[in-house]
Amino acid sequence: MVKQNKILFIFLFFSLFISCRDSDPKPYKQTVLLKINHTWKDSNLVLNKQYFWDRTFRIDTISIKKISYHINNLKLKTIDSLVVDAQSTYYLIDINQNKTFPQDIIFNTPLEGVKYYISSIEFTIGIEDSLTNLNNKLLSLFSNAMFSDSIKGYINFNLEGSSNGSKILDYKIGGYIAPYKNSRRIKLFFSKPFLLNRNNELSVKADIFKFFKSKNQIDIENVYYVEKPNNDSKMIADNIAKIFNIESIK
């Protein structure tokens, strides 16, 4: 009987040991690839397609020809207040080329064998650092860093298109001096914390319709050309902060 109990104890010990080992973090670093899906409401955005905006008092048509923007200082945050930075500080997204410059947005966890429960992502749309703006130092990273003499700095978000048949839409949203500091810090929360695997993909939706209607409603008959920091650019910058939402992480 004593021998049987001893055997049972050894069996339970090794079972518990193996179980604990299986739940331990694996000795590797994790990576997260960020994908941004640009849409018009609930459909994938198609350049040069005519979209309709029913405003009750008028139906506007909008066709998007070009979009590019700076997305910077990206960070994943965990429930334990750990931070995972993207590989680069500055990125530029060009929808026309379907590319992110200077490379895809990838996060690498700094430590091996650590459980990272990701709870949110943060990033800045635009260039908020006055020295970066004044020195135009991003030319070494991007062939077209979108520096504008009118803004005296970088264009945070550039959208071009047409409306109601023939009217040109041209929005160059920038500015880093009060009262028109038009970069925006954005924080998106997951519905629940996500335990990172070895390789992960995070999808974020950017609804371009909200560029025109979210926090503010933009009357494209009157506000169709914005080149300098002003009240219109500030309204649109507030809208840009609302276009992003988390779709999924896997």
Q: Is residue 198 part of a domain?
A: yes
b or e along 56-66 (b: 16 or more beta carbons within 10 Å of the residue's beta carbon)? eeeebebbbee
pLDDT in tens, 32-47: 999 999 999 999 999 9
Range of the structural domain that residue 163 is part of: 29-249
The confidence score (pLDDT) of residue 133 equals 85
Instruction: Work out the mean pLDDT of the chain and round it to a whole number.
Output: 90
Q: Is residue 24 part of a domain?
A: no
Query: What is the rounded distance in angstroms from the CA atom of residue 152 to the CA atom of residue 220?
Result: 25
Task: Say how many domains are in the chain.
Answer: 1
The confidence score (pLDDT) of residue 21 equals 42
Q: Is residue 17 part of a domain?
A: no
pLDDT in tens, 96-124: 999 999 999 999 999 888 899 999 999 99
Query: What is the rounded distance in angstroms from the CA atom of residue 170 to the CA atom of residue 220?
Result: 10
Q: Is residue 23 part of a domain?
A: no
Asked whether 126 and 70 are in contact (CB, 8 A), the reply is yes
Q: Is residue 123 part of a domain?
A: yes
Q: Is residue 119 part of a domain?
A: yes
Q: Is residue 8 part of a domain?
A: no
Q: Is residue 245 part of a domain?
A: yes
